[in-house]
Amino acid sequence: MCTIYKKTDLFSTLVTMFKTILTILFSAIIYPAFAQRATDTFSVYFDLGIPTLNANTEKRIDLLVYNDKIINGSSIMIIGYADFLGTEKHNKDLSMERAKNVKNYLVKYGINADNIKLCVGNGEVHRTGINDKNGFPTDRRVDIVVNNMKESNEKIASTGKPKKDTVKGKKRPVKTNFEEIKNLKAGSTITLQNVYFPPDRHTIKPESKETLEKLFSVLKQYPNLKISIEGHVCCIKSEIVDALDIDTYEPTLSINRAKAIYNYLVSKGIDTARLKYAGYGHRRPVVVVEQTNEDQEKNRRVEIRITENK
């Protein structure tokens, strides 16, 4: 028995098929791109032969949770490793214990255990032709892989595209008024705008070069001008002195960022006698109680303080 379709039914069927094809294409191409951006891997490190978390490792996880890098609702994988020192079985067991201890610490901190989809020990990191008796410190680690799929889905569903991030430099750039520096008295400060660093690191991003070149030009133009470069961070607990720098694995992020700019100016030929650097962590906030991204952005800054201007 044959079914007879009216023209309107045929048109409706074709439209439905077309929408279905578009949905499949969106799911196969666009959605994975957003999902990939929503995945981050954070590494925490351990002492040689030790499965328990040390103080720095705990602080690192504290900061990740406090700064919403690890949140409830995300899918979390915890993968432990060891360096090549010791037997294969020992390293396998050691990496597993490290992974379990990280999981337990996260759960104790308030992360739902159901969000942790995987907790494994991958054993030693194999290195060919290397036999260093001290091993490799970066191989004594646990990787925490966080997939914020839920957050990404909400952004796509509400807007059709990811929301703009106002914290990571996607707002309209604000220019630093370098012309006023020549008139500033000792003790005055000016905030360096458009100077960027990767999250939790002190490496200067290339897009910061224009601002730093202008600062260099001003220092070259006014040879009697002396400055102090001062770093500040946001989003850490009041009892923590400074944020953790994952490049050095030390809680000196604000100092290291200020020093990075200091080193840049010295490499351009500015006399070290004219420069100082310091880091104040979160001890000198512009906004005492951070409630918005804008508040955090105001506190996350590098300032130039005039120390002498004859």
Q: What average pLDDT does the chain have?
A: 78
Is CATH 3.30.1330.60 what the domain over 178-309 is classified as, yes or no? yes
Please give the model's pTM, rounded to 2 decimal places: 0.47
pLDDT of the residue at 155: 41
Assigned CATH for 39-159 = 3.30.1330.60
Domain extent listing, the chain: 39-159, 178-309
Same fold, 39-159 and 178-309: yes
pLDDT of the residue at 221: 92
Report pLDDT digits (tens) over 133-167: 777 888 899 999 888 654 444 443 444 444 443 33
Q: What is the dihedral of CA 71, 77, 78, 79, to 10 degrees?
A: -150
Report pLDDT digits (tens) over 238-296: 667 788 888 887 888 999 999 999 999 999 999 999 999 999 888 888 888 877 877 87
Report pLDDT digits (tens) over 17-36: 555 555 444 444 433 433 33
pLDDT at 185 over 60: yes
